[in-house]
């Protein structure tokens, strides 16, 4: 087992002299927030894909959540192979993948121009960072949180193509974010105002970090951009904590989860946290949140009317049907 860098002084020295306000237009620095847990089987391919990025000004902060396989040793090998400060290793909170990612996103000692979540078992296509940074820098306002996310290519554990994530065509919005997460955290890149907002809220108890970022940033009327072009190979394998939903068994599993009340439980968690940060939301979204909570506890004759008043929507026909089903059987 390797010795993890845990204290803030070591973390800062590992990152080097990172200027929080360095120019986002001239070779911006990206902090890649990598979370690992027993990922030795695929981790090297992911790290190699980071090394092959066309945008080269990046550092990796790897938070390992107590791996018992060779994950720590692989991280240490790459730390030795890469230039000093390129890879910093630390111990995660060991409270699951969501809290591990939030522990990085909420850490004020991690400073860069932009930030990118990174899973241990994917493969990034070479232009992933370059495309995301071009999109953000061309469209961001100085003080407005900006979240870039997008579609993925599904691949088998041997990287053979096996489909694509759903194509979403409706605009991202808070009305959509309340009932759907449109992109995996593995595609997400965000700017400094978004990072400061996440830090301000802290590591909250939510089902997933990616859905939470979509809700939070859309809730404050930040910019959420969904890229229809995929720049990531999303590996589907038996050990994945979260997988795609393109296969029939995966779709049936999600219907079963809905019937069992999993979606309802997730919404309860999200609403509880959104109420905690209600003062940060714009007024219109505060009102939508109140109506959404009322709708979830309303009688059947009122639920669909309130859903229409809230303007809730999902991105696909199947998603819309599942939303109506959840509303009908009071599992929303």
d(CA 206, CA 300): 27
Query: CA of 326: how far to CAs of 203, 208, 231, 269, in Å?
Result: 28, 20, 33, 16
The pLDDT value recorded for residue 177 is 98
Residue 187's nearest CA partner among 218, 161, 149 is: 149
Residue 182's nearest CA partner among 314, 21, 1, 38 is: 314
Q: 288 phi and psi, to 5 degrees?
A: -65, -40
The pLDDT value recorded for residue 142 is 79
The length of the chain is 332
**DSSP letters for 165-214:** PPPP-SPP-HHHHTT---S-GGG-EEEHHHHHHHHHH-S---S-HHHHHH
Query: β-strand 87-91 against 58-64: which pairing, if any?
Result: parallel
The pLDDT value recorded for residue 243 is 53
**What separation, in Å, do the N-terminal and C-terminal C-alpha atoms of the chain show?**
44
- Close Cβ partners of 252 (under 8 Å, ≥ 6 residues apart): none
CA angle 241, 246, 249 (to 5 degrees): 75
- Close Cβ partners of 117 (under 8 Å, ≥ 6 residues apart): 33, 35, 101, 105, 185, 186, 188, 209, 210
Q: 329 phi and psi, to 5 degrees?
A: -95, 10
Query: β-strand 189-191 against 146-150: which pairing, if any?
Result: antiparallel
Cα Dmax for the chain:
64
**DSSP letters for 273-314:** HHHHTGGGS-HHHHHHHHHHHHHHTS-HHHHHHHHHHHT---
d(CA 214, CA 177): 6
The pLDDT value recorded for residue 2 is 36
**Domains plus CATH for the chain?**
8-235 (3.90.550.10), 248-328 (no CATH)
**Model pTM score:** 0.88
**Rounded mean pLDDT for each run of 10 residues along the chain, 332 residues in total:** 34 38 70 98 98 98 98 98 97 97 98 98 98 93 93 96 95 98 97 98 97 98 97 81 57 66 91 98 98 94 93 94 90 88
Sign of CA dihedral 44, 46, 47, 52: positive
**DSSP letters for 123-167:** EE-TTHHHHHHHHHHHH--TTS-EEEEE--EEE-TT--EEEEPPP
Give the H or E element holding residue 91.
strand 87-91
130 bridge partner residues: none
The pLDDT value recorded for residue 238 is 64
Coil, strand, or helix at residue 219? helix
Contact 214, 150 (CB under 8 A): no
């Amino acid at each position: 087992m390797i010795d993890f860098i845990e204290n803030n002084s070591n973390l800062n020295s590992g990152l080097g002299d990172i200027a929080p306000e360095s120019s986002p237009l001239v070779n911006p620095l990206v902090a890649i927030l990598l979370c690992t847990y027993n990922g030795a089987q695929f981790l090297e391919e992911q790290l190699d894909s980071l090394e092959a990025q066309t945008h080269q000004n990046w550092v990796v902060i790897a938070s390992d959540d107590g791996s018992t396989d060779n994950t720590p040793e692989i991280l240490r090998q790459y730390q030795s192979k890469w230039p000093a400060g390129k890879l910093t290793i630390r111990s995660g909170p060991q409270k699951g993948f969501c809290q591990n990612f939030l522990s990085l996103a909420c850490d004020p000692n991690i400073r860069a121009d932009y930030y990118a979540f990174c899973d241990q078992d994917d493969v990034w296509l070479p232009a992933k960072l370059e495309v995301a940074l071009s999109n953000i820098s061309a469209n961001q306002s100085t003080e407005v949180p900006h979240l870039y996310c997008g579609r993925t290519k599904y691949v088998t554990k041997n990287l053979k193509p096996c489909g694509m994530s759903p194509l979403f065509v409706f605009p991202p919005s808070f009305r959509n974010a309340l009932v759907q997460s449109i992109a995996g955290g593995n595609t997400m890149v965000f700017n400094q105002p978004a990072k400061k907002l996440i830090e301000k809220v802290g590591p909250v108890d939510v089902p997933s970090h990616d859905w939470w970022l979509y809700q939070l940033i859309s809730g404050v009327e930040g910019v959420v951009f969904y890229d229809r072009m995929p720049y990531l190979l999303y590996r589907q394998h038996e050990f994945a904590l979260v997988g795609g939903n393109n296969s029939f068994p995966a779709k049936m599993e999600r219907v079963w989860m809905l019937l069992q009340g999993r979606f309802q439980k997730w919404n309860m968690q999200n609403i509880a946290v959104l109420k905690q940060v209600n003062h940060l939301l714009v007024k219109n979204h505060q009102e939508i949140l109140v109506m959404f909570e009322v709708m979830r506890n309303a009688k059947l004759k009122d639920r669909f009317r309130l859903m229409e008043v809230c303007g809730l929507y999902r991105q696909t026909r199947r998603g819309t049907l599942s939303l109506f089903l959840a509303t009908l059987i009071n599992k929303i």
